[in-house]
């Protein structure tokens, strides 16, 4: 039994090594799509094609769908989608933006190449596709990395090798899944940047929601949000919206607003003098 177990472990390691080597290549998806486009495709009713279960919660920005719809209306769909059979339907693997573009364009039937692959290879195909896209989505990458970690025990170092990033970068990407769903969806559509999200991910949900509101209302930079998040983490009482905005505007370490006064505090004399010069220029 021990020999059988060792043999199975060797096979698994060999299989994993082969998959990593294959999917870590930059052009693996382009080569796959080229192969599929040269193979016989099948026209499948759009009603029988389901979005991919691993990434369906990731919204595609409306302007991107519109752009694909317009392009498909003008030029047609020359590259088939890649799907896999699941029950009586087909699950989408490659061509998600084209899929939603054709939907918007009013297509009823789509040319598809059918790939008979399992969950692991499907996840790797999706991850490589996300990695190589010009308009890649960090939430999608986080979901795929988490699924490979949970379901197939991929280490963060292995995921880093697959995505051409460091283990630390993968850790940060996967951490964003702790954010509230509404914040993740704002990231998907480009309303909130990854830099903003990374700065606030370790805070409580209430604090995250407060800071996100501030970002939208005052168009705060990532650096400004990092300073606000640091104060939230270090103080027992969160700053008010007005205090945080003033603090960021004038480079103060702390702002305390009372009924008839506003107190600015600075970490150094240099900061205080810069504040006074800034005020003087506005006179």
Q: Can you say whether the dihedral through the CA atoms of 154, 141, 125, 45 is positive or negative?
A: positive
Question: In the block, which residue shows the tokens 């209302």?
Answer: 217
* CB contact set of 175 (below 8 Å; sequence gap of 6+): 198, 201, 202
> Could you report the per-residue pLDDT of 56-69, keeping only the tens digit for each?
999 999 999 999 99
* pLDDT at residue 44, rounded to an integer: 96
> Looking at residues 207-222, what average pLDDT do you find?
92
Q: Residue 182's pLDDT band (boundaries 50, 70, 90)?
A: very high
Parallel, antiparallel, or unpaired for β 42-45 and 89-94?
Answer: unpaired
159 contacts 130 by C-beta, under 8 angstroms: no
Average pLDDT value for residue range 48-58? 96
Question: Which pLDDT score, from 0 to 100, does residue 248 have?
Answer: 72
Q: Which two tokens stand for residue 219?
A: 């168009």
264 beta partners: 255
Q: Which positions ≥6 away from 55 have C-beta within 8 Å?
A: 96, 126, 140, 143, 144
pLDDT at 239: 57
Does the structure show a pLDDT above 90 at 43? yes
**What is the structure's pLDDT at 106?**
93
Q: Is the dihedral of CA 117, 122, 124, 125 positive or negative?
A: positive
In order of start, what are the domains of the chain with their CATH numbers? Answer: 1-32+119-178 (no CATH), 39-116 (3.90.1530.10), 180-281 (no CATH)
pTM above 0.75, yes or no: yes
Banded model confidence at residue 11, pLDDT cuts 50, 70, 90: very low
**pLDDT score, position 7:** 46
Q: Express each pLDDT in 234-255 by its tens digit.
A: 764 555 666 777 777 777 777 7
In 3D space, the residue among 131, 172, 98 whose CA is nearest the CA of residue 28 turns out to be 131
Computed over every residue of the chain, the mean pLDDT equals 86
* Lowest mean pLDDT segment, chosen from 164-178, 208-222, 247-261: 247-261
Residue 259: CB atoms within 10 A of its CB come to: 4
Closest CA to 200 of 228, 161, 167: 228
pLDDT at 15: 65
CA dist 147 and 128 (Å) reads 14
């Amino acid at each position: 039994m021990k020999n059988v177990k060792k043999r199975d472990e060797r096979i698994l390691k060999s299989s994993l090594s082969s998959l990593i080597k294959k999917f870590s290549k930059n052009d693996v998806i382009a080569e796959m799509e080229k192969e599929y486009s040269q193979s016989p495709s099948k026209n499948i009713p759009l009603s029988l094609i389901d979005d991919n279960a691993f990434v369906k919660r990731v919204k595609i920005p409306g302007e991107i769908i519109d752009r694909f719809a317009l392009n498909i209306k003008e030029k047609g769909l020359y590259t088939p989608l890649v799907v896999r059979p699941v029950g009586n339907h087909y699950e989408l693997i490659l061509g998600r933006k084209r899929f939603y573009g054709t939907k918007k364009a009013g297509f009823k039937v789509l040319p598809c190449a059918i790939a008979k692959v399992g969950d692991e290879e499907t996840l790797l195909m999706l991850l490589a596709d996300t990695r190589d896209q010009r308009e890649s989505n960090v939430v999608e990458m986080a979901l795929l990395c988490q699924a490979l970690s949970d379901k197939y025990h991929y280490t963060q170092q292995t995921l880093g090798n697959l995505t051409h990033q460091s283990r630390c970068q993968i850790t940060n990407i996967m951490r964003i899944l702790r954010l509230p769903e509404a914040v993740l969806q704002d990231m998907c559509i480009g309303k909130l940047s990854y830099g903003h999200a990374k700065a606030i991910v370790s805070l409580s949900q209430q604090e995250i929601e407060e800071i996100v509101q501030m970002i939208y209302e005052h168009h705060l930079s990532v650096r400004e949000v990092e300073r606000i998040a640091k104060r939230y983490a270090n103080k027992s009482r969160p700053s008010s919206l007005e205090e945080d905005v003033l603090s960021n505007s004038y480079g103060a370490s702390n702002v305390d607003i009372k009924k008839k006064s506003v107190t600015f505090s600075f970490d150094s004399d240099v900061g205080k003098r810069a504040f006074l010069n800034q005020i003087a220029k506005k006179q």
